[in-house]
A and B are shown apart, each in its own frame.
Chain A
């Protein structure tokens, strides 16, 4: 049974951020900074996973960036809107949420993609 906002069992700013992040509807207990942190780490994870996956299958070309871009834009948004039940306006608008962690995530993606690809598929 997941805690409900009305029960007050997880008050805002109390409890682990990751417990709130893994609770359906847990957005009600999150502070703005906590949500931004969750989205940041989520994007780093997506960058890592996408880089490894594309490297493993030997994906080449700029289409890899398109795949990464779609994943890093779509997954966090679906997560915080549908799973956490967040209204972006309550957290300063969508601009901050869309931008959070994007550049570091892109760097992680390229590094992983490049390293795995070089290890498995490079001719040198």
Chain B
């Protein structure tokens, strides 16, 4: 049962890291009026862009419609750049904190079986699920890295959503991006 306790410990550590990082982001970014206005702008422009793209226009209005879409795409990219620019420093800080937490937990659980998988993972998955375990371990033995990755994937978005800090839903694939968009980050 020791491995179950270990995996619950890792889950709780991951949840704690997520709460800490979201708390940090809230204090540094989310609560600022400037950021909130930037988010509203992104959502607003995205909505207009989607609406405009779904519109069917006659041949005579096609060129004007295309120019309008181009302008909205440019506005959208600028709004996204502004919003993301505000989060840049805090995102770097959070990234470093996550790296530190991973390092600490990795040292704590190195070589230890922290869970038992109820299936035999395929080869590529096994490289992660058995990372750091001694040779001779069972294929169903699970190492820290795998549990941590699952916890991050499962908990981060959910905690963000529950706290109301989830980023706006925008389909980045609908906009053509290039390296030189001609706009600087704010």
Binding site for B on A (CB under 8 A): 33, 36-37, 40-41, 44, 47, 54-55, 58-62, 64-65, 92, 101, 103-108, 110-111, 113-115, 117-119, 121-122, 124
Binding site for A on B (CB under 8 A): 1, 3-4, 7-8, 11, 50, 113, 115-119, 142, 147, 150-151, 153-158, 161, 169
Residue on A nearest B168 in the bound complex, by CB? A33
Q: Give which listed residue, A33, A37, A105, A113, contacts B118 with CB less than 8 A.
A: A113
Across chains A and B, the number of contacting residue pairs, with CB separation under 8 Å, is 73
Q: Quick one: which of B11, B142, B169 has the most chain A CB within 10 A?
A: B169
Q: Which residues of A contact B150 (CB under 8 A)?
A: 107, 110-111
Query: A118–B153 contact, CB under 8 A?
Result: no
Majority secondary structure of chain B interface residues (helix, strand, loop or mixed): helix
Residue on B nearest A100 in the bound complex, by CB? B169
Per the bound structure, the CA–CA distance linking A14 and B3 in Å amounts to 47
Q: Which residues of A contact B3 (CB under 8 A)?
A: 118, 122, 124
Min C-beta distance of B148 to chain A, whole Å: 11
Per the bound structure, the CA–CA distance linking A37 and B158 in Å amounts to 11
Residue on B nearest A41 in the bound complex, by CB? B161
